[in-house]
Structure 1
Amino acid sequence: MTETNSGASRDAIEFHYDMPADFFALWLGKSMTYTAARFTRSDMTLDEAQADKINYHLDAAGVEKGHRMLDIGCGWGTLLKSAVELRGAGSAHGLTLSPLQQKYISSLGLPNVSAALESYEHHHPEEPYDSIVSVGAFEHFVKPGMTREERLDVYSELFRRCAEWLTRDGRLSLQTMTWGDAGQVERDMNRIHEIFPESDLPEIAEVVEAAHPHLELMSMENRPEDYGTTLAEWAKGLRANREQAIDIVGEERFKFYLDSCVGGSLLYRRRRFYLCRFVFRRRGR
């Protein structure tokens, strides 16, 4: 039976993410992390800032030795690997809609790490999780054109599931792009839907409102400059490896990713988009 999702379809996810891992390795840095880093010092390298982001989410989600962790939208498995190798997690399971990402993670053969080609809407864990992380996936959970009520219904169902899956003291660490200072006309003209088909950004207020019945908000930070700097670093990496990148994906796709990084960096620096990190814990503790 074909799975249907409230947000981006498998085809839409594959359009943006299903490029060979060798291509992304040219410009994402050592962590192979295709989400905003966390630049807490002005002299940080991209790799240092990505390591800071990874540690932030592991700390926020309370990942400890022996814990079970779920990563919703796990990318190429960096957080899964880090949870096991850096924090001693007993198991780290990832969900992705990208066949190439799932295949890549499986090929690593990491102990206690697994990944499934599955939407969170079709996930049914056998045991509760101590920690849940989701970094850069929330943007794909609703489609353009949905009403605010429809969007809130989708987001609320996600948070309901997370609360149900978490242990009594469990935590969720969530990182997502959100709409920023852009007005409606500017939003309508924005190319975000061309870059990420069948996807749309949330408002900060929508995230908080949808989570409130199910999860307690512990903290939030809004750091669009993190994505502005990350995208600028990725653009440098793409330019530095232009010939190799074109050999792998072709000139048209190379230009697509480079333009997305350059344009996106400017929009984040102008705060048209925000980059938010939310930390929640289960209610009824």
Structure 2
Amino acid sequence: MTTATSTTTPATGAAQEIERVLRPFAGGDLPVRLRAWDGSEAGPEDPAVPLVLLNSPQAITRLLWNPGELGAAQAYVTGEIDVAGDLDTALSHVWSEVSARGLTGVRPGPASFARAARTALRLGALRGRPPAPASQAQVSGRLHSRRRDRLAISHHYDFSNEFYAAVLDEHMAYSSAYWTREDQTLEEAQAAKLDLVCRKVGLAPGKTFLDVGCGWGSLSLYAAEHFGARVLGVTIAEEQKRFIDDRIAERGLRDRVEIRLCDYRDVASAAPEPFDAVASIEMGEHVGQANYPTYVEVLHDAVRPGGRVLVQQMSRAGTGGGDHPGGGPFIESFIAPDMTMRPVGETVDFLEAGGLEVRDVHALREHYVRTVDAWVERFEAAVPRLRTLVPEEYLRVWRLYLVGGRMAFRDGRMGVDQILAVRPGAPHDLPAVRPW
């Protein structure tokens, strides 16, 4: 992160011109102070106001072509825009100002846009569309076709096993942990989550268990090692399968754990016999709104009557399947293309419409805040080593991703829930008083 340095500020310059142009769009004073590439500064002089560094006219070009979050994110990950000081503090300040002023509803008139275009031309920023950053996802084809889903998943999950090992815990669990004590480590909190899932679905020695979207195998391996279950895990990420297969061999679990490269839609043909229990941890977000009934059908049909199904899934209030059901232009363009999040109640409706009886909804939003806190700490400590693995641009993507995600969970704009259900058709053995 760039740190503010003292410079001689010209009486007028690019920053002053940009500030004048942005005032109608900001509803008055800017929520940040600007320092432009020519050293000029403009905006509030309050030290509590973040200082945004415009390092290149191309930052303005990107914002002209992609106004709002996407253009700003592109400029940030390429280093054309930076923040002096702490990114979380700056983003939190801007978000609070946007919310307080109702800036999402500001609609400047044609004269404001004309003035912005003239200023951009004068500053050398009115040019052709800049190329997308190398770190931005490139997916094509029919939405949620098997091919496109493989591309979308591979973009993020096949990124680098070594990179993820530096950021995640020893279990390689890439989902919300379950913090049961103040002094827990990330690894202990992830183990608590894995244990909670296994107990909720009723695992015991010899029981069969399906892990849909098994990631790097944290749940599959834990269920076999600690509960004696016989596990099938499925993923469409080749690097994940390679990683898990190595761990299975190292731990002598080949007789209890099998991992297959398998689309969730092909589970029935890959494993026709029903399982005693099924879980899917933060994978349902990737199947899309239209395909969610198919996903529920797979979970329903994969478990025996009376068996339990657990879905842990992120939620987002009020998306309503709008323009950005995945959480916004940045995360949809750089992290999880084609992702869909919805209010938890709508997911419960899908599960019930698919024939499952929902028995528990366990909200874990605060647990995700602590989880991302731990990931941020590990990420920042590992940056020198991560620089040997990936270009700097990818580190900026991850910093923005982690900080922005932590804010969304902290502020209640996103949640995560464990939804426990049973398949009707036979008696279930869920206790009347929950042991968890």
Do Structure 1 and Structure 2 share a fold, with TM-score over 0.5? yes
* Pairing 1:95-110 to 2, within 5 Å after superposition: 95-108=234-247, 109=249, 110=253
1:42 and 2:186 equivalent? no
Distance 1:259 1:235 in 2: 10
* Residues 319 and 342 in structure 2, CA contact (< 8 A), matched pair in contact too: no
Give 1:163 shift.
1.8
Distance 1:19 1:79 in 2: 21
The answer for the alignment partner of 2:380 in structure 1 is: 239
Give 1:199 shift.
1.3
In terms of mean alpha carbon deviation, does 160-169 or 25-34 score higher?
A: 160-169
Considering only CA atoms, is the larger Rg found in Structure 1 or Structure 2?
2
The answer for the alignment partner of 2:306 in structure 1 is: 169
Is the alpha carbon distance of 1:246 and 1:98 closer, same or farther for their aligned partners in structure 2, counting shifts above 3 Å?
Answer: same
Distance 2:324 2:186 in 1: 30
Distance 2:398 2:164 in 1: 10
* Pairing 1:74-113 to 2, within 5 Å after superposition: 74-89=214-229, 91-108=230-247, 109=249, 110-111=253-254, 112-113=256-257
Distance 2:245 2:328 in 1: 39
Aligned residues: 274
Give 1:274 shift.
0.7
Distance 1:102 1:249 in 2: 21
What letter corresponds to residue 381 of structure 2 in structure 1? A
Distance 2:274 2:425 in 1: 15
The answer for the alignment partner of 2:50 in structure 1 is: none
Question: Percent of aligned positions with the same letter in both sequences?
Answer: 29
Distance 1:71 1:202 in 2: 22
For structure 1, the residue ranges without an aligned partner over 5 or more in a row are 143-150
TM-score normalised by structure 1 residue count = 0.89
Residue aligned with 1:247, SS: coil
In terms of mean alpha carbon deviation, does 119-128 or 178-187 score higher?
A: 178-187
| CA deviation string 1:13-66 (max 9, x = no partner) | 111111222211112011111111111333322111101110111111111110
For structure 2, the residue ranges without an aligned partner over 5 or more in a row are 1-141, 427-436
Give 1:232 shift.
1.5
The answer for the alignment partner of 2:330 in structure 1 is: 191
* Residues 5 and 121 in structure 1, CA contact (< 8 A), matched pair in contact too: no
In terms of mean alpha carbon deviation, does 224-233 or 161-170 score higher?
A: 161-170
In terms of mean alpha carbon deviation, does 177-186 or 22-31 score higher?
A: 177-186
The answer for the alignment partner of 2:393 in structure 1 is: 252
In terms of mean alpha carbon deviation, does 69-78 or 180-189 score higher?
A: 180-189
Distance 1:180 1:210 in 2: 16
Give 1:161 shift.
2.3
What letter corresponds to residue 43 of structure 1 in structure 2? D
Distance 1:163 1:189 in 2: 31
Distance 2:316 2:328 in 1: 13
* Residues 143 and 338 in structure 2, CA contact (< 8 A), matched pair in contact too: no
Q: CA RMSD in A?
A: 2.3
* Pairing 1:115-126 to 2, within 5 Å after superposition: 115-123=259-267, 124=269, 125-126=271-272
What letter corresponds to residue 45 of structure 1 in structure 2? T
Distance 1:180 1:41 in 2: 28
- Considering fraction of residues, name the structure with more strand: 1
| CA deviation string 1:193-223 (max 9, x = no partner) | 1221121113212211111141111101112
| CA deviation string 1:145-195 (max 9, x = no partner) | xxxxxx2x5222222222222112211111011113679799775533122
Is the alpha carbon distance of 1:83 and 1:4 closer, same or farther for their aligned partners in structure 2, counting shifts above 3 Å?
Answer: farther
